[in-house]
Amino acid sequence: MTRRLRPVGLGFTEHAPTRLVFTARASAAPDAVYRALAEEVTGWPSWFRAVTLARPTRGGGGREVRLMGGVRFRETVMAADPGRRYAYRVDETNVPAVRALLEEWLLTPADRAPGTASASASGKPATPAAPAAHATPAAPVTVGDAAPGTLVRWTFAADGPPAFRLALAASRPALGHSFRTAVRTLDARLAGRTRG
């Protein structure tokens, strides 16, 4: 059964009851990473293993996504800032208990990103969300070295009842692994394009 979720704005990434934040470094430039995320939506299954189908809807203003295990999402694209940010809100899903869900991908040139510090799309340091019951700490997980390229920051912001938030917090290691693997796979694909 498909359920309609609560509509949330971009600020939800800072104030959601549960925020999972991961970072990884890609050797590809921000523009190339952005194109793969936002303009080549149908290519997601080729680099993000959990995704079995992704396609744009509403002339690019939305997305339909299916994950392994039969999970389905209908989404609205909330931000598409070339080379900088791609964010989408889940409007409908068959996942039980979730009330609101927003994902944001921030892209920062790695040579401008000091260490693992993340920057907001405005270039100012991102502020952590206020503590919430069962919130997951937003400490980034970083992959790679200090080579030039792109620092990719993925924020998974969600709300649901306490049991849902606890389950999501417990899934942090698996989500982090999935994200890191996806960024490595995407980076290898993008590197293959530049060589070919």
What are the pLDDT digits (tens) for 18-58? 999 999 999 999 999 999 999 999 999 999 999 999 999 99
- Give the residue with greater pLDDT, 151 vs 138: 151
Name the region of 59 (left: φ>0; alpha: ψ -120 to 50; beta: rest). left
Euclidean distance between CA atoms 165 and 159, whole angstroms: 7
| Total length of the chain | 196
- Is the Cα torsion angle 50, 189, 177, 26 positive or negative in sign? negative
In DSSP terms, 51 is beta-bridged to: 67
What confidence tens digit (pLDDT) does each residue in 67-114 have? Answer: 999 999 999 999 999 999 999 999 999 999 999 999 999 999 987 655
Local confidence band at 61 (pLDDT 50, 70, 90 cut-offs): very high
The residue-averaged pLDDT of 129-153 equals 53
Where residue 97 falls (left for φ over 0; alpha for ψ -120 to 50; beta otherwise) is left
pLDDT in tens, 7-22: 999 999 999 999 999 9
| Alpha carbon distance 19, 50 (integer Å) | 20
The answer to whether the beta carbons of residues 126 and 119 sit under 8 Å apart is: yes
